[in-house]
Amino acid sequence: MKADPGAQRRLLDLQAVDTAIGQLDHRVKMLPEHALLADLQTRRQALGQRLVAAETALSDAVAAQTKAEADLGPVRERLRRDEKAVDGGTLTDPKTLSSMVGEIAHLKTRISTLEDEELELMEAVVSAEAEKTRIATERTSIEDQMRALVAKRDAAVADLQADLTDRRSIRTTLLAELPPPLVDTYEKVRSRSGGVGAAALQGRRCTGCGIEANPSDYERYLAAAPDEVLRCEECDRILVRTAD
Ligand SMILES: [Zn+2]
């Protein structure tokens, strides 16, 4: 293949732009904010599930406390009635009086037990409320961190995208100046050579693969006409002789 030596040297400019574009694309993909956001999102989802569980626990605790309070009402009422009857002195039958006194003692014990239970249930409500608040606060804090990270990520992406836009515009200009067959060869080699299609010959060394040409290959490189497009014998990349 033949191409103007100036065009061959311009191919190194195209390579430099493509390398820069590749690095910028990589930096966009590898921004640390992506992984941090994914991690926070996982934590946020887990907290969302824990919040639902805490809300359920709280409503269960409130329902249990309400029921305990409701259970106490009739027992207290019964005690009041019994005490009134005894205090009123209307019970003349000793057996009835004795049974009523026994019932009062029993009701008092029952009320005391129910009150203890209700107290425990009230404590459960308070602790369920605290747990719910704690989880909600943690989630809010994670959402705040996420918002800050999204802003940071978007700013970083915008900077890199602006840089990419500049490089792509330079690339377009270069492509318009270069002979299409040379560009085609460059693209084919580049796609199978890790993104590097053209490399400079520095002394005996190919900057693409870093290997020095053996004496006979080097002789051939030197003897080749300036418009002949050389290929590295080691890596097959387009080997560009620079002006010096
Ligand atoms: Zn090489």
Residue 91 has a pLDDT of 82
pLDDT digits (tens, 9 = 90+) for 73-90: 999 999 999 999 999 888
- Per the domain annotation, does 152 fall within a domain? yes
What own/partner pairs with CB < 8 Å and gap ≥ 24 does 42-49 have? 43/142, 44/139, 44/142, 44/143, 44/146, 47/135, 47/138, 47/139, 47/142, 48/139
Domain that holds residue 58: 31-166
How do residues 135-193 score in pLDDT, each as one tens digit? 999 999 999 999 999 999 999 999 999 999 999 999 999 999 999 999 999 999 999 99
Residues 46 and 60 in one domain: yes
Mean pLDDT of the chain: 96
pLDDT recorded at residue 89: 83
In a domain, 171, yes or no: no
Output the CA 211–ligand 1 centroid distance in Å.
Answer: 6
Count: domains in the chain = 2
Quote the pLDDT of residue 92: 84
Q: Is the pLDDT of residue 106 over 80?
A: yes
The reported pTM is 0.75
pLDDT band for position 244 (cuts 50, 70, 90): low
Q: How far is the CA of 231 from the centre of ligand 1 (A)?
A: 8
Expressed in angstroms and rounded, the spacing between residue 24 Cα and the centre of ligand 1 is 24
- 174 assigned to some structural domain: no
Q: Are residues 144 and 41 in the same domain?
A: yes
Q: What is the CATH number of the domain that holds 88?
A: 1.10.287.1700
Question: In what order do the strands lie in the sheet containing 205-206?
Answer: 205-206, 198-202, 238-241, 230-231
Q: How far, in Å, is the centroid of ligand 1 from the Cα of 12?
A: 14
Query: Length of the chain, please?
Result: 244
The rounded Å distance from CA 68 to ligand 1 centre is: 85
pLDDT at 121: 96
Q: Is residue 173 part of a domain?
A: no
- Do 122 and 10 fall within a single domain? no
Decide if 140 is inside a domain.
Answer: yes
* Stretch 3-18: mean pLDDT: 97
Q: Are residues 236 and 134 in the same domain?
A: no
